[in-house]
Amino acid sequence: MKFLPLTTLLLLLAFSCGQGTQMDTQTLAQEKDSLKSLVNEYNARIAEINKLIAEEDEGFEKNLTLVETLVAMPQRFDHYFKIYGEVETNKNVLLYPESQGILNAISVTEGQQVSKGQLLATIDSQILRNQITELQTNYALAKTTYDKQARLWEQNIGSEMQYLQAKTQKESLESSLATLNSQLAKAQIRAPFAGVVDEIIPNAGEMATPQMPIIRLVNLDEMYIKSDVSEQHLQSVKIGTPVKVSFPSLGKTLEAEISESSKYINPENRSFKVTVDLPKNGDDLRPNQLAHLRINDYSDDNALVLPSSIVMQTAEGADFIYVLADEGDKTFAKRVMVTTGHEYEGQIEILSGIENGTRVISNGAKSVRDGQRVRLS
């Protein structure tokens, strides 16, 4: 269908008005009908054009970059630094015999729980026992002689020399007996503390010497980790500082805290030692076991925190993010410069640049530019 230009339509209207006096009523009615038809056709065309424009706008909206947002809200933020250490215990000892001889008997087995003072092993002491028996016989005679001489001396009977000789003989034998009994006690290996027999090294019947360990005794009730911390953390690491202790071999993490902090800085590596006492935790932990320590050196209860992946940098190294800005019914991406703080495990602290409640573009931020119109997914 062809349409007359608007100027042509207006000229026709003007001509019709100018010739109205020369036309009869029937002609005017026909002309009126013709003009109504033209108006209807133009109105229909205008509606069609408006529809096309709307469809074009809808297609434009569909082609806008899709973005997702998050709302910046205050939350607790904790920063940790990681160091390594090993599990230790003060009650992990090798027991050595104090005398030499054949290992007569081992009274315990590996893995056995023992109490303090319990007999663990004995070294052959028959020769000592024979000597003790002989001395006891001599001592009995010496004591009897001394007792008689003492009674006589009290009655001023006998010489002082006889009394002193009897006394000296008795005391000498007492001392010898005490020495042999002490040596006999050394032939017995006893537990210095309650614990578990972790290892038995020789077999019964083998020769034992003071240079050869017999048994390893371990107590796992009081375990700790010692580690070196860089001097730069001196101000943030104190007694009571929270620590997360992870054991790669167990796949578990414990909550603990610093129990000791050394007052000495090693000049060779500029570090100081810290101790972390471990809670009693069954039989999982072992001495020398590797541990990862994450020590808390910064916390903020009301921090604005964002994923570090959405914080970008300019060519000069300045940090910025994209936020949403509304203009009427349209939404745009707006670049905002920010000041960042600590970063930990994919989260970064925002010190300035945004406020509580700011809508931050989280997904699609790397695909937009400042002032670009966007659409929320």
DSSP letter for 127, please.
Answer: H
Burial 56-85, CB ≥16 within 10 A → b, else e: eeeeeeeeeeebebeebeeeebbbbbebeb
In angstroms, the Cα distances linking 303 to 147, 287, 349 are 90, 39, 7
What contacts 116, CB < 8 A, 6 or more positions away? 191, 192, 193, 194
Measure CA of the first residue to CA of the last residue in the chain; give whole Å: 42
Residue 184 has a pLDDT of 72
Q: Decide if pLDDT at 96 tops 60.
A: yes
Residue 53 has a pLDDT of 64
Q: Please say whether the structural domain 81-90+218-300 has been given the CATH code 1.10.3720.10.
A: no
Note whether 99 and 211 are within 8 A (CB). Answer: no
Cα–Cα dist 100/125, whole Å: 10
Residue 17 has a pLDDT of 52
Cα–Cα dist 304/76, whole Å: 9
Residue 16 has a pLDDT of 53
- Chain segment 30-80, per-residue pLDDT in tens: 777 788 888 888 888 887 776 666 555 555 566 788 999 999 999 999 999
Is the whole model's pTM more than 0.75, yes or no?
no
Give the residue, 67 or 10, on which the prediction is more confident: 67
Average pLDDT, the chain: 85
Q: Decide if pLDDT at 95 tops 60.
A: yes
Q: Please say whether the structural domain 93-217 has been given the CATH code 3.40.220.10.
A: no
Residue 198 has a pLDDT of 92
Q: Which residues sit opposite 242 in a β-bridge?
A: 257
The CATH classification number of 65-77+301-376 equals: 2.40.420.20
